Every structure is written in C-alpha cells, then in structure tokens.
C-alpha cells in the first residue's frame, strides 16, 4: 500500500507524510533552508506520529530530510528571535517564542516514548532541533555525509530538545564536552559516542527504504528493522574523538566551568596540547551565561526522566527569552552575521549563581505539560 496523507498544504509542503507499505514516512522538505524545523512543521509531524502510533497497518516510522545536504539543520530560531524582539518592542504577544519550544518539546517526548520503531536517516547536517527529531528514536542511522552538533552555547542558548537527558547519559564526560563546545561529530564519532545506532552508505538509503516498506514485521517490529539495517550496514570508520576521550574525561568532570578551563589549561602541557588549546579557544567564544547554565542543566538532567528534563528546559527557554545573550547571539550569527557577539555578562566571573538559578524557576504563565 502506498498512500499519501492529504495535508491540505501548498504545492511544495514543508513536510510530506506518506505511508509506504508497512512504514510511515516523514520527509522534511525545506532543502534550501537545510530542512530547518518550523512551528508549522512541528504541527504536522506531531499529530501524524500520534495517528501512526494507533494505526496497526503502520509498523514503523522513517524520517529523513529532502535534498543532499541536511537531515535538519536545527529549529527555526530566527522566527523565535523575531517573536521575542517584537515583544520587547511592545509589538505582538511573543507567542511563537513560547509555542515553538512547548510544541517542539512535546514532539521530542513523543519520539522518545514512541511505541514503534522510529528510524531517523541522518544523511547530512543534523544540528539542534534536528538532533531532537532523531536522537530520541530507536534507530539513528548515519551516512558518510552525517555531521552532528549541538551548537547552542554559541548563540546564547543551551543544548535543548532533551539535551539535558541524552547528553548527560553519554559515556564519561563526552556529553558535557559536546554540550559546552558545540563540537561537530562525523559518522564515526557519532557511533563512538553512542548517538548513532547504525551506519548505512548514502547510496544504499533507497534500497533500505524499500526493504523497510516490504519487511515482514510480524510480532517483532524492532527485530525486522534491525535485520533490514544489517543488510545495508557498513563500518563508519575509526572515531577521531577516541584519542581525546581521556583528556575530555579528566577536564569536563569538574564542578564549574572555570575549573573545566583550568583543567584544559593543564592539558595544554601534555600530549593532547593542540586539542586542549583549541578547546579553550572555543569555550572562550561562547556565551558565559550559556556555559554555566548548560553545565547545571546536564548535572541536573542525569537523574531526571525525559518529561522532567523537558519541563526544565522549557523553563530555561523562557528565562533565556527574558535575557540578553540569545538575541545577541542570533544577531551576530544569523542577522548581521558579523560573528562578533557582545555577551552580557562578558565573563564567567560576572555570571552569578542567582542568574544561573533564574533559568530553572517555574514559568509564571505556566510550565510545560504533556497531554498524551
């Protein structure tokens, strides 16, 4: 059975949902924007996933991005920025800045709790919100074109979409390192970190989809998916990240960002000196507030369930929207593109404990809640 779900959308909808044999297929269809996730796209994907979860004819879900460059380069933070700036000017109600994160996080939770195999095909750039659309699923499949990152500390935000959950659970201090630095991972590193579960050459994705659509799922859907993936799987290569893991674990297990930097400075005197020096330089470019808030987020998140982490992160977004650095980070990276953000406060020493704690307080207008 090949049935196209009628979205009532324009000629080129930003999300195309179809049923192909036994699988529900989601295509993120904004290739010129690297399939960046908008609120309207979330509002299509979330109810469709809910419907497929109830449909006995749909045995598994596959999600992928259109074009040859990206799975999903992240959430449409420019729209959130526009909404927040308008509210600051006394124009509008800032609804997008609230609704985007609230509805995105509900979608992240749905994926994490999905009752059927959920297969994300990471055939290109996968960042921020794109990681949220994939990492919570049962099967995360990279190709040789995969490039993954959570770069939010560089725009005055924090690694959200459940980052406090999945990053805090990576081996050793890899998650802390990825969260604070926004380091980019290729396919081999993504497998090494435990973010990717499988690797399939890009040229094999079409055949993989055909196998998944035609598979005999029986009573063991996950086993059927695993078998299909095994027929097309390849070795992603040796992970460059592995050589730096001892330094990462020594440095990023510190209690504060300042102590992490001190440990990294010690590492510059050892065999991993070039990596440590580059990491210190990277951290010096990030929002000091974001660094401290992110470290607290991960330390709290490691003992929380996904729902509690997403409630926490929604609180954090609303605190960020009431601050300075997110607007400055987006201005510098996406609006003026001068790549010269002026963070406020400008140093780690100026970021008080009370300012960090402000990000974890209940939202006066109401916390995130889950309805199903």
Catalytic residues: 75, 129, 152, 160
Number of H helices, E strands in the chain: 16, 10
Residue with tokens 């690297």: 34
Q: Are 13 and 29 in contact (CB under 8 A)?
A: yes
Q: What is the 3-state secondary structure (H, E, C) of 163-217?
A: HHHHCCCCCCCHHHHHHHHCCCECHHHHHHHCCCCEECCHHHHHHHHHHHHHCCC
Residue with tokens 């094999």: 204
d(CA 141, CA 198): 5
Q: Are 77 and 38 in contact (CB under 8 A)?
A: no
d(CA 345, CA 324): 9
| Cβ neighbours of 342 (radius 10 Å) | 11
Q: Are 134 and 119 in contact (CB under 8 A)?
A: no
Helix or strand or coil: residue 19? strand
Q: What does the buried/exposed string (b/e) look like for 34-66 if buried means 16 or more CB atoms within 10 Å of the residue's CB?
A: bbbbbbebbebbbebbeebbeeeebbbbbbbbb
d(CA 81, CA 277): 33
Q: Are 96 and 82 in contact (CB under 8 A)?
A: yes
Q: How far is CA 88 from CA 318, 323, 365, in A?
A: 13, 11, 17
d(CA 60, CA 56): 10
d(CA 48, CA 370): 17
Strands 70-72 and 118-122, bridge-based pairing: unpaired
């Amino acid at each position: 059975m090949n049935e196209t779900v009628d979205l009532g959308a324009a000629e080129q909808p930003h999300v195309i949902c179809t049923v192909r044999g036994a699988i529900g297929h989601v295509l993120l269809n904004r290739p010129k924007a690297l399939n960046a996730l908008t609120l309207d796209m979330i509002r299509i994907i979330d109810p469709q996933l809910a419907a497929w979860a109830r449909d006995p004819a749909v045995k598994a879900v596959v999600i992928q991005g259109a074009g040859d460059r990206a799975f999903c380069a992240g959430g449409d933070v420019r729209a959130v920025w526009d909404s927040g700036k308008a509210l600051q000017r006394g124009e509008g109600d800032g609804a997008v800045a609230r609704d985007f994160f609230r509805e995105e996080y509900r979608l992240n939770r749905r994926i994490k709790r999905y009752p059927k195999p959920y297969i994300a095909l990471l055939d290109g750039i996968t960042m921020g919100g794109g990681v949220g659309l994939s990492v919570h699923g049962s099967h995360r499949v990279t190709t040789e074109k995969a490039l993954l990152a959570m770069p939010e500390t560089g725009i005055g935000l924090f690694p959200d979409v459940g980052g406090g959950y999945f990053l805090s659970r990576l081996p050793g201090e890899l998650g802390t390192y990825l969260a604070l630095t926004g380091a980019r991972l290729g396919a081999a590193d993504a497998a090494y970190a435990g973010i990717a579960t499988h690797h399939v050459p890009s040229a094999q994705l079409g055949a993989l989809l055909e196998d998944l659509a035609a598979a005999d799922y029986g009573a063991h859907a996950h086993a059927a998916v695993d078998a299909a993936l095994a027929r097309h799987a390849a070795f992603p290569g040796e992970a460059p990240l592995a050589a730096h893991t001892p330094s990462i674990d020594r440095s990023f297990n510190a209690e504060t960002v300042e102590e992490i930097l001190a440990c990294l400075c010690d590492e510059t005197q050892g065999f991993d000196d070039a990596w440590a020096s580059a990491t210190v330089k990277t951290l010096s470019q990030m929002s000091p507030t974001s660094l401290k808030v992110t470290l607290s987020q991960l330390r709290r998140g490691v003992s929380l369930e996904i729902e509690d982490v997403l409630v926490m992160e929604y609180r954090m977004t609303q605190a960020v929207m009431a601050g300075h650095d997110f607007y400055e980070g987006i201005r510098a990276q996406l609006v003026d593109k001068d790549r010269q953000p002026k963070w406020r406060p400008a140093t780690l020493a100026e970021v008080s404990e009370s300012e960090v704690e402000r990000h974890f307080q209940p939202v006066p207008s109401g916390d995130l809640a889950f309805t199903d």
